[in-house]
Structure 1
């Protein structure tokens, strides 16, 4: 099978980039795989890219060149924001090549992408034909211009029928599929299929330590500050890895609590060892996540997860089987969950650790999910021939 995979890199690396590289590397073992990538720029170059977001003729020309050169049987699209934009979808469809698109977030429904604004879950755009309230709230980087142009771009392509030219949309969970099903997005439900993220790794053999670990961006949607407010003064050991705009606030809590350590932004090998050693991984997000790779790695390492009881996190983490839940908007709920976990019988934790690895092997191995992806490709190609 000849496959063209298209991806738009953000300015800063993220989970979508990991998925892109991982899938390309695996597909290349058995198929002829070609890639076309775009990169978001900073400064005036980035501003120029953003202004071309609604209808990027340069990106469309690049895609057409790749189609002529590679002659793919199928095209797989990951991110579209913002250097490439969605207009090139029409160029691919015009040439009769089926398109599969992975939806890593909710940007097709709302400029926020995460359905989060002002410290709260924000779903007003889901059932709106045009996201006026999202624009008013400046949900994308607190910018009226960015939010408006993004909203207009995706609305414009609704009106032109661009989104219906994609053969199959891959969503990461049944929760994500339900969000799109309930929305005004003008595509039939049968075009959506569920395929979770996955990783392939061997567990790191280390001794478990009596500490929790947080790995992620220090920003409001990730819930790091409510987590620190809940843990403040409890004496619970927490190691924190990451960086972001709330670093100064994080540092204040670290300075006031000797059992909380800030260990900075670290390479993957360090993070893997930290997850393997941890008593539990804490994921306190207050937004609708796509599918955190850290949770999948925790399961692979036999590390239970303490997570917010919202969105995909509620679906992935099973209470007292692979971890525990808390209400991320209630400090007492977070604190109770953490203290209950620390007090839990070690034998119960050991059972949950084994359950985590079983869950990983059943749902999240790379081999199993790559087979599923190839089946999705084959189905899309067959349907396109009808």
Structure 2
């Protein structure tokens, strides 16, 4: 098959961009043809707020380019990874007009929340879920603390909902978890078009035995509030000596992490490191901790950790913990509760064999859910289904 991938890049390259390129490799290795059309971030395009807002509602240039590429490449399916903010949902209408079915992956919650996280002022917020107008977001200036910018994205969602773009021009919505699927249904999207398709990551290689060095807990990710970094640091201060915390990443909270590491010899901050180094750190860790405080959908750090055979300790938000607990490859603690996290870490400290006993199960979970071979089959199934019905 031939697949045209569309994506709006963002100033900070995140999981959506990485996953799109990964799926392109998976599909190409599987014998399919892939072409990509990427729209740069607003920052890279150096657009004024007014121009960026107009494009968020209806990007005529992107629509024309999608039409041109469909004529030249003749894809069987258009796969839109993220049309927000600048590409705009108008690209779905371009694909429909050209007679090509479109699917989209929900890497975040942008179809329901203009900032994509369902977080406001550091707490979960669903004020806009179930609302077609989503005026709460404008009232709170959720997008970049700007009411005009928030209004533009809100208008984009509202206009395309009213015009039927999301009902009639999208053949399948692919969510990463069942929780995400249910949230989209609660927001009024057609349930029959929403399907769970888990991500995959390249096989990082199973590490059957941990390192002979210090007993290590690893955090790898962006150093921002919604990732639960403060909760982790506060919890660590309550854990008796016996474990080492390694923190890999960068972000707004880097000064706080550096301050804690300077005053606590059991914390090692390694900064932003390569993916190969992250995998190496995962293989040497007893557990990888994922204390996120937003509805993060199957973060890649969990998939990679399971791939190397390292169990995970996660927040008890459903879409983070459901499969971890179902597969018995880790533990969950009350989201945002430093004392609850400290208690789980202390349990690990007191029982050196606790995590080691889950390593084979962790790898089995990766093989059963997150391998590229499985992902290729899932993508082919979706594409064949929509290509055959449209």
DSSP 3-state at the match of 2:335? coil
Q: CA deviation at 1:204?
A: 5.8
State whether structure 2 residue 161 is matched by structure 1 residue 154: no
Q: Does the Cα contact within 8 Å between 1:281 and 1:305 map onto a contact in 2?
A: yes
Aligned partner of 1:296 in structure 2 is 303
DSSP 3-state at the match of 1:36? strand
| 1-structure distance, mates of 2:332, 2:379 | 31
DSSP 3-state at the match of 2:289? strand
Q: Residues 168-317 of structure 1 correspond to what in structure 2 (within 5 A)? A: 168-184=172-188, 187-203=189-205, 205=207, 207-208=210-211, 209-232=214-237, 234=239, 235=241, 236-317=243-324
| 1-structure distance, mates of 2:47, 2:372 | 34
Q: CA deviation at 1:155?
A: 1.1
| 2-structure distance, mates of 1:49, 1:88 | 16
Q: CA deviation at 1:256?
A: 1.9
State TM-score, norm by structure 1: 0.94
Q: Does the Cα contact within 8 Å between 1:233 and 1:257 map onto a contact in 2?
A: no
DSSP 3-state at the match of 1:42? helix
| 1-structure distance, mates of 2:372, 2:327 | 26
Q: Does the Cα contact within 8 Å between 2:176 and 2:298 map onto a contact in 1?
A: yes
Q: Does the Cα contact within 8 Å between 1:195 and 1:372 map onto a contact in 2?
A: yes
| 2-structure distance, mates of 1:60, 1:203 | 41
- In 2 relative to 1, CA 336–26 (structure 1 residues): closer, same or farther, beyond 3 Å? same
| 1-structure distance, mates of 2:202, 2:184 | 29
Q: Does the Cα contact within 8 Å between 2:67 and 2:98 map onto a contact in 1?
A: no
DSSP 3-state at the match of 1:263? strand
Aligned partner of 1:42 in structure 2 is 43
| 1-structure distance, mates of 2:151, 2:333 | 35
Q: CA deviation at 1:144?
A: 2.3
Aligned partner of 1:132 in structure 2 is 135
- In 2 relative to 1, CA 353–204 (structure 1 residues): closer, same or farther, beyond 3 Å? closer
Which ranges of structure 1 fall in alignment gaps of 5 or more residues? none
Q: CA deviation at 1:44?
A: 7.2
TM superposition outliers: structure 1 runs of 4+ over 6 Å: none
Which ranges of structure 2 fall in alignment gaps of 5 or more residues? none
DSSP 3-state at the match of 2:37? strand
DSSP 3-state at the match of 2:156? helix
Within the candidate set 75, 78, 82, 2:78 is matched to 75
| 1-structure distance, mates of 2:141, 2:231 | 23
Q: CA deviation at 1:349?
A: 2.0
Aligned partner of 1:327 in structure 2 is 334
Q: Does the Cα contact within 8 Å between 2:206 and 2:309 map onto a contact in 1?
A: no
Aligned partner of 1:31 in structure 2 is 32
Q: CA deviation at 1:46?
A: 3.6
- Say which is worse superposed, 202-211 or 55-64, in terms of deviation: 202-211
